[in-house]
Amino acid sequence: MPLVLRRLNKVIRSRTAAFAAATAALAGVAGCGTQEPDVERGRALFIENCGTCHTLAEAATTATVGPNLDAAFHAAREAGMDADTIKGVTLRQIDNPREVREGEPNYQQVFMPADIVTGQDAEDVAAYVASVAGIPGIEPPAAEGGPGAQVFAANGCAACHALAAAGASGTVGPNLDETLPGQTAAQIRESLVDPNAVIVSGYPANTMPSFADLSEEDLRQLVKFLLESAGEDSSGG
């Protein structure tokens, strides 16, 4: 074999071995939990803890404070990265987010704190992200409760609000089971299209986005769902 080809093969084998070692190390990080990850639980934890900063299609979250996880991992999947490796990468980012030091150009931006979830919670979130991030065409699962519940789910409302009927437990915004009962359809609609019209005590202005760009039918269905379900006991009691 010519010398040039031998050297080329050596380089290829060396790089392949290095990639395999890195992949194995990341997979080892992913498998360090005390029990099998619960992906459904991870989804709920992601929406509550991560959905206010990250876009992830399957979770119906659309925030842009942090990276778009679908965009970030789509290219990685295209390059051959598997779910175990994506899980390991996600765990490492949760444990040790990128530090931006004072004086760097993007120092003023908001960055993820370390250990936003820990232990088994982190394992579940990472397993969930690894199972859905960057998959072309993926959509949120169908929500129980009719068209209005689906609009609620598809627009990431659970990332900020608690609503028992939707299985939502967000804490960024008001608990809808506590604040919506007694309101009229017109008042709920106003809160959706003009969130700063009435600010709930204890919550800052300019936090909730306007949903004025929803279609009239989606807006009607969402108002109907909120009007009928807020304050109900989701267990049927």
Q: DSSP for 178-229, please give it.
A: HHSTT--HHHHHHHHH-TTSSPPTTS-SS-SPP-TTS-HHHHHHHHHHHHHH
Q: Which two tokens stand for residue 104?
A: 């760097």
Residue 17 has pLDDT above 50, yes or no: no
Q: Which two tokens stand for residue 147?
A: 């068209």
- What gap in Å lies between CA 161 and CA 51, rounded to an integer? 11
Position 207 scores a pLDDT of 85
Fold matches, 7-132 and 147-229: yes
Q: Which two tokens stand for residue 132?
A: 């859905």
CB contact at 8 A, 70 and 131: no
Packing angle, helices 3-30 and 83-95, rounded to 10: 60
Position 11 scores a pLDDT of 40
CATH number assigned to the domain with residue range 7-132, chosen from the 4 options 1.10.760.10, 3.40.50.1100, 1.10.510.10, 3.30.2320.80 = 1.10.760.10
Class of domain 147-229: mainly alpha
Please name the residue ranges forming H helices in 96-164. Answer: 119-132, 147-154
Residue 25 has pLDDT above 90, yes or no: no
pTM: 0.63
CA angle, 230 then 146 then 157, to 5°: 55
Least confident of 31-45, 63-77, 144-158: 31-45
Position 105 scores a pLDDT of 61
User: What phi and psi, each to the nearest 5 degrees, are found at residue 47?
Assistant: -60, -45
For residue 25, give the nearest of 99, 116, 88, 87 by alpha carbon.
88
Position 230 scores a pLDDT of 93
Average pLDDT, the chain: 82
The 10s digit of each residue's pLDDT in 173-203 is 999 999 999 999 999 999 999 999 999 999 9
**Across 94-106, average pLDDT:** 71
**Across 202-207, average pLDDT:** 89
Position 51 scores a pLDDT of 86
Neighbours of 77 (CB within 10 A): 16
Structural domain boundaries in the chain: 7-132, 147-229
Residue for token pair 């996600």: 90
CB contact at 8 A, 176 and 161: yes
**Across 91-118, average pLDDT:** 75
The 10s digit of each residue's pLDDT in 114-127 is 889 999 999 999 99
Q: Which two tokens stand for residue 174?
A: 């008001």
- Please state, for a pLDDT cut of 90, what percent of the chain lies above it: 51
Position 26 scores a pLDDT of 46
* DSSP class of 169: E
